[in-house]
Amino acid sequence: MNILISGGSGFLGSAFSNEIMARYRAQNKALHITWLTRDSSQAHPNDIDMMTYDELASSDKSFEVVLNLAGAGIADSRWSDARKEQLLASRIKPTESLLAFIKRTSIKPKLMVNGSAIGWYGTQGDKPLTESSGFETDFAHRLCDEWEQLALAANDYGVSVAIVRTGVVIHPKGGMLGKLLTPFKMGVGGQLGDGQQIMSWVSREDWVGAAIFIIEKHLADDVSTQAMHENTQQTTNDTTAVVYNLTAPNPVNNHTFTKTLGSWLHRPTFFTLPNFLLKLMFGEMSTLLIDGQKVLPQALLDAGYEFQQPTLKQALEQQKS
């Protein structure tokens, strides 16, 4: 399998690359990974190739799978107008480059897996949300939706698309948990607001496992579909667009998250950051901390994915380095 990854060196892309290489090596399966980058001198594992966006524009290489994870971190800084533009551009421009490559290349990928986030659903409190749920319009929704709609254009070129809407990814090496470890270890961690806001999370191990599961499932379905077409002498190239919520099946509220994290670290969690202070500190971006979302991975469960770490306690206690 040949995979092209934008955002390959990031928090999720690097973990995905390491895990799928380890699995395929153990199974004696052929695998070739290329990271798409703007800097050809970027550090990378020896068994991964690098390709710049300029090289992509004229490349005649073929890839079975494109994994599009490029994008600046939505929670890395306050949402000024300039930051909002940066968040959108950092997703749209790489996706446009990938679509231009897909349009031009003679051998199309079989699947494009495109990143997104549960922010697509907007703020809906503790209402259970699955892939068939609607949305509330806010900045996070508009950001995700514009990215998703652009990625779906790959269907126009006969490429199946899977949209992965990611929740809060749990791993000590990065993401929200990585930022919280220091204050919690110092004993100054605590709940946010009233602590009742729902947090839809997923361990990084399960995010990677689910992404590999989705890829392999879609490729297997593609082979089955091609066999059916050959047997019935049909030549049409059907494409599909599927959305998956990459969240664990057991979301928790912020109070439970805080107590579980404190217990794991053997630290007290007496402090509380009130809503007004969160709004003062983070502005509009404080909605990510104050307003909850109860997002459930119905499509993954229906497809047969089995979570390695379905509870927050397991996700913390079974962390890999």
pLDDT digits (tens, 9 = 90+) for 153-173: 999 999 999 999 999 999 988
Position with higher pLDDT, 280 vs 118: 118
At 225 the pLDDT is 52
Share of the chain above pLDDT 90, in %: 74
Q: Rounded to the nearest 10 degrees, how much is the dihedral formed by the CA atoms of 148, 153, 158, 164?
A: -10
The mean pLDDT value for 218-235 works out to: 57
> What is the C-alpha separation between 68 and 215, in angstroms, rounded?
13
Q: Label residue 264 by pLDDT band (50, 70, 90).
A: very high
| pLDDT tens, residue by residue, 296-310 | 999 999 999 999 999
User: Whole-structure pTM over 0.85, yes or no?
Assistant: yes
The mean pLDDT value for 205-230 works out to: 80
Q: Is residue 232 over pLDDT 50?
A: no
In the block, which residue shows the tokens 């749920």? 133
Q: Label residue 235 by pLDDT band (50, 70, 90).
A: very low
| DSSP conformation letters of 118-179 | GGGG---EEEEE-TT-----SHHHHHHHHHHHHHGGGGGGT-EEEEEEE-EEEBTTBHHHHH
> What is the C-alpha separation between 172 and 21, in angstroms, rounded?
22
Judged on CB neighbours under 10 Å (0-12, 13-18, 19+), 220 is: exposed
Residue 306 DSSP symbol: -
Q: Is residue 237 over pLDDT 70?
A: no
Q: Is residue 289 over pLDDT 90?
A: no
Q: Is residue 124 over pLDDT 70?
A: yes
What residue type is assigned to position 225 of the chain? T
Q: Is residue 107 over pLDDT 70?
A: yes
Two structure tokens written together for 240: 């599909």
Of 2-11, 226-235, 281-290, highest mean pLDDT: 2-11
> What is the C-alpha separation between 1 and 56, in angstroms, rounded?
18
Q: Determine how β-strand 190-192 pairs with β-strand 65-68.
A: unpaired
Two structure tokens written together for 218: 């879609």
139-151 and 81-104 helices cross at what angle (nearest 10)? 10
Q: H/E element holding 242?
A: strand 241-246
Phi-psi region of 317 (alpha: psi -120 to 50; beta: other; left: phi over 0): alpha
Q: H/E element holding 271?
A: strand 271-273
At 46 the pLDDT is 83
